[in-house]
């Protein structure tokens, strides 16, 4: 076996794996009737694994149909495009800049929340609380 040869489709396989993990969480959110969370997670699945776009689109339509009128979750969208990039509005309402060539319509806050949820870390996690305290202490001591 040639050690120098790149692994075939490694990045795609990893992204598919994470999309599958997010899909499990989206199903749990759906069962708990947390449709906004399910919508957000399926939107992230679509960003990670665009090859299954029709599956994600069907799931998003099902979620949108299930929620009461006027409370449908929002997907991220491009607000403005320019020479150097785009302004994106996340589903949570935050706007952020995205350089041309990048994909994704979720803000950093939503991406971080999703990553923490995938790893099983929630907002009440003791280690996360210690990390917040440490960061606050470092920031307060900086000039």
Q: Which pLDDT belongs to residue 80? A: 83
Q: Which pLDDT belongs to residue 20? A: 92
Give the CA count within 13 Å in the CB-facing half-sphere of 89.
Answer: 7
DSSP code, position 5 = S
Q: What CA–CA distance (Å, rounded) separates 116 from 90?
A: 18
Q: What CA–CA distance (Å, rounded) separates 80 from 126?
A: 40
CATH code: domain 1-70 is 1.25.40
Q: What kind and span of H or E run contains 22?
A: helix 10-31
Please report, for the chain, the start and end positions of each structural domain, with discontinuous segments joined by +. Answer: 1-70, 76-143
State pTM to two decimals.
0.53
Assigned token pair, 66: 């299930």
Q: Which pLDDT belongs to residue 49? A: 86
Q: What CA–CA distance (Å, rounded) separates 88 from 71?
A: 21
pLDDT below 70 — which residues of the chain? 1-8, 68-75, 118-119
Q: What CA–CA distance (Å, rounded) separates 85 from 103?
A: 11
Assigned token pair, 136: 């606050």
């Amino acid at each position: 076996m040639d050690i120098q040869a790149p692994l075939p489709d490694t990045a795609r396989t990893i992204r598919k794996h994470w999309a599958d993990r997010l899909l499990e969480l989206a199903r749990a959110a759906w069962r708990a009737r947390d449709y906004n969370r399910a919508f957000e997670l399926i939107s992230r699945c679509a960003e990670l694994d665009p090859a299954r776009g029709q599956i994600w689109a069907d799931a998003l339509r099902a979620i949108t149909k299930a929620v009461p009128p006027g409370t449908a979750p929002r997907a991220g969208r491009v607000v403005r495009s320019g020479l150097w990039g785009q302004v994106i509005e996340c589903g949570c309402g935050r706007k952020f800049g995205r350089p041309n060539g990048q994909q994704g319509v979720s803000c950093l806050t939503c991406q971080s929340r999703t990553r923490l949820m995938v790893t099983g870390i929630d907002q009440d996690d003791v280690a996360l609380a210690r990390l917040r305290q440490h960061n606050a202490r470092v920031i307060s001591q900086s000039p």
